[in-house]
Amino acid sequence: MTCALCSGAIQPGDEINLHHPTPRSEGGTLTQPTHRDCHVAHHSTRGDFREWGRQGGQKAALTMRWAFNLLNVRKHPAYQPHRDYYLMNYTNAGWSAGLI
């Protein structure tokens, strides 16, 4: 097997990742095997991790998912309405928790 990014041989025991030449967000389904380190370096140099983190942060802000993750927020009673909002609008947990 050959790494799609460096064209080097992938040896038994090497950590591999599957790379999408066309990103999934653009409809890509085809994957190619790569060395784990080659794959991480590829996306790091392109700035993909920073962009994906920014997009994820925006989604967490809109859905109020952050109210479950932040250390001094996740159990603070003042943020309970934010947690309730997330449960009612984005999960099935709202039903089982009796919030809906």
Cα–Cα dist 47/52, whole Å: 9
Q: What is the pTM of this model?
A: 0.57
Question: What per-residue confidence (pLDDT) applies to 96?
Answer: 53
The answer to whether 31 and 37 are in contact (CB under 8 A) is no
The answer to whether 86 and 70 are in contact (CB under 8 A) is no
- pLDDT (tens, 9 = 90+) of the chain, 100 residues, equals 999 999 999 999 999 999 999 988 788 899 999 999 999 999 999 888 888 888 877 877 888 888 888 888 889 999 999 989 888 888 765 455 555 4
The answer to whether 17 and 34 are in contact (CB under 8 A) is yes
Three-state DSSP class for residue 75 = coil
pLDDT tens profile 17-29: 999 999 887 888 9
How many other CB atoms are found less than 10 A from the CB of residue 5?
A: 17
